[in-house]
Amino acid sequence: MSASAAAVLDLAWPPGGHDPVLSALAERHIGRDGALDFASAIRDPLLGRLAMVSSFGADSAVLLHQISRINPEMDILFIDTGKHFAETLDYVDTLSTEFGLANVRFIRPDAGLIALEDSRAELWQKNPDLCCMLRKTFPLQDALSGYQSWITGRKRFQGASRAALPFFERDGDHIKLNPLAKTSAEDILSYARRHDLPQHPLVERGFLSIGCAPCTRAVKPGEDPRAGRWSGLNKVECGIHLGPDANFARQSLAARGDGI
Ligand code: SF4
């Protein structure tokens, strides 16, 4: 997200302070060695109705595989922005079938809103923050209204903005579980090899972090894996982790007459 958009949204998330639910979850499921017992965590009633949100990107197979072994019936939400690589859509099918994931749900943007705001299909160039809000943040926010908690695939090694990522975090009314928070890139690779997991077809072409096609490029050797996302723009996150600020963004845009 650009500095200007952050200013508009007045980002002040997450709030500080003690959260007894997060403390209880940490006490129950994080061992003395600092490791998370993922299988026990996702069965905890404190999390309520739980879904996983997956991009079916370069690293997604590892967590999806783990979930398929614990609860293949879990709802898996895939945000179909309409801008994905064809290879990603194929990969959704491949992993769903291979892992026996029974409830992969495609979350799509409001077609009327896209027609209104992006009739020329160039919003990703002119205002990528708004494009991500319309195509990702708001559809996911609506989809998550039916859940109390969600699982993300974020990791600390993915960059400075994720360097202190906890296993459990509060996001407005939701709790987010980040089971791979402390997992290294080597661990991911090693797990994928050990279980012979299918690889996203674009990885062998140098795409190490995969989002929408217009906003993703292959990375060069030695580059940060996420360097190919919104390359050349002052933007590093899509905005689905805005927390309550997503509501504020919606209200701000509506107030500005942007058709939200
Ligand atoms: S990643 Fe690019 S194309 Fe996808 S929603 Fe964001 S700005 Fe739009």
Task: Identify the DSSP state of 158.
Answer: G
Please, how many CA atoms are within 13 Å of residue 103, restricted to the half-sphere of its CB?
A: 11
pLDDT for residue 241 is more than 50: yes
pLDDT over threshold 90, residue 116: yes
Using DSSP's 3-state secondary structure scheme, residue 88 falls into helix
Nearest to 79 by CA among 152, 184, 164, 159: 152
Give CA 43 to chain center in angstroms.
21
pLDDT of 148 above 50? yes
Residue linked to tokens 């783990």:
66
Mutation pick for ligand 1 pocket among 212, 226, 233 (CB with most ligand atoms within 8 Å): 212
Give buried/exposed letters for 168-200 (b at 16+ CB in 10 A, else e).
Answer: bbbbbebbbbbbbbbbeeeebeebbeeeebeeb
pLDDT band for position 254 (cuts 50, 70, 90): low
pLDDT in tens, 53-98: 999 999 999 999 999 999 999 999 999 999 999 999 999 999 999 9
User: Which token pair is 76?
Assistant: 């898996």
Please give the pLDDT value at position 162: 85
Residue 7: pLDDT band (50, 70, 90) is very low
Catalytic residue among 131, 212, 215, 238: 238
Among the listed residues 17, 20, 13, 29, the one whose alpha carbon sits nearest the alpha carbon of residue 178: 29
Specify the ligand 1 atom closest to the Cα of 131: 8
Average pLDDT, the chain: 88
Q: Is it the case that residue 182 has pLDDT exceeding 90?
A: yes
Query: Please, which residues have CB within 8 angstroms of residue 38's CB and are 6 or more apart in sequence?
Result: 29, 66, 70, 179
Distance 50 CA to ligand 1 centre (A): 26
| Better pLDDT: 23 or 6 | 23
Residues contacting ligand 1 via CB (< 6 Å) = 81, 83, 124, 128, 131-132, 135-136, 211-212, 214-215, 238
Local confidence band at 5 (pLDDT 50, 70, 90 cut-offs):
very low
Assigned superfamily of 19-255: HUPs (3.40.50.620)
pLDDT (mean) for 39-64: 97
Give catalytic status of residue 238 as yes or no: yes
Where are the chain's structural domains? 19-255
Where does the pLDDT of residue 144 fall: very low under 50, low under 70, confident under 90, or very high at 90 and above? very high
Confidence of residue 247 (pLDDT cuts 50, 70, 90): low
State in Å: Cα 21 to ligand 1 middle.
34
227-244: average pLDDT:
75
Residue 12 has pLDDT above 70, yes or no: no
pLDDT grade for 224, boundaries at 50, 70 and 90: confident
pLDDT surpassing 80 at residue 6: no
